[in-house]
Amino acid sequence: MKKKRADHIWDIPPSARGKPARLTVATCQFPVSYDINANLSHMLDLIGRAASSGADVAHFPECALSGYGAATWPSWDDFEWATLNAAMDRIAEAARAHGIWIVTGSVHWDDAHTRPTNSVFVFDDKGAIAGRYDKRRCSINDLRAFAPGDKPLTVDIKGVRCGFLICLDWAFPELWQEHAGKVEMIFHSCYTDNVARDRIEAHTIQPLIQGYAWLHQYAVSSSNSCRPRQNFPSFWIERTGHHGGRAIADETGLILNALTDDPELDAFCQRVLEFRRSATDGSLYAPYLEAQKV
């Protein structure tokens, strides 16, 4: 009988291995606008649908609650901060009422910054804010309105270590590398829609993020706003780099995917990460190089 290769795990999508769900994520999309109350209405509906479907987490796009600043962007003079604060309270109430974690984009302004940050908030299933990530790689255009963040965020969600990134962070491999071996999944929120031409992002971003997942052995939930036309619909990539669910382009809705409880896969992913670490720092090859000197 032919012996199975140890790396057969690599070739099978984790979702096809018949293992129970460990963390179920609803990756949500809707047409994010400058109207905070309209955004809130979409989000409350999707949170309810996600909870009814058994999701542990509802994940939303970049600036999902607030919109991408004021309609007078990049000016903040007419931004409705009181409306946003009230909407944040409603999201916290929804998390508590449904017993679900919520990961959502929103602008934020505090005394530590001279202008708002483009942020992702993590609400736990009791409605408390468990963390906030501020977008670190703002575009030149972003910097007209936003201050950049300066540190990563990891949060433990139901025993799963999670990292968080926003939109253009996709273009900086070091931000994805720093999470390698430290998290099992990444929540990536973006706002790349309403385009009038065939942009390169439509062809490159999903494969790029798929590559990060494969390299670093974590799942990725990528949530995108869905005003027509999206550069790409929201999607999920499994820890091995396999494609998971993919939303319908330009349509409000959600996709359900899960990180599975699979110790065999966990051990295999750790071996892959250790191989890459030792190859990168040279320790894997050092004995062979030393032997050549003799």
Q: What span, in angstroms and rounded, lies between the C-alpha atoms of 87 and 85?
A: 5
pLDDT at residue 294 above 80? no
The set of residues, in sequence order, having a beta carbon less than 8 Å from that of 285 and lying 6+ positions away, is 279
Please spell the DSSP secondary structure of 216-263, one letter per residue: HT-EEEEEE--SSSPSS--EEE-TTS-EEEEPPTT--EEEEEEEE--H
Share of the chain above pLDDT 70, in %: 97
* Residues 169-188: tens digit of each pLDDT: 999 999 999 999 999 999 99
Q: What span, in angstroms and rounded, lies between the C-alpha atoms of 210 and 260?
A: 18
The residues spanned by each domain of the chain are 21-261
pLDDT for position 222: 99
pLDDT at residue 236 above 90? yes
DSSP summary character for residue 41? H
Average pLDDT score over residue span 157-175: 98
Q: What span, in angstroms and rounded, lies between the C-alpha atoms of 51 and 37?
A: 21
Q: What is the mean pLDDT of the chain?
A: 94
pLDDT for position 104: 99
pLDDT for position 111: 86
**CATH fold of 21-261:** Nitrilase/N-carbamoyl-D-aminoacid amidohydrolase (3.60.110)
pLDDT at residue 5 above 60? no
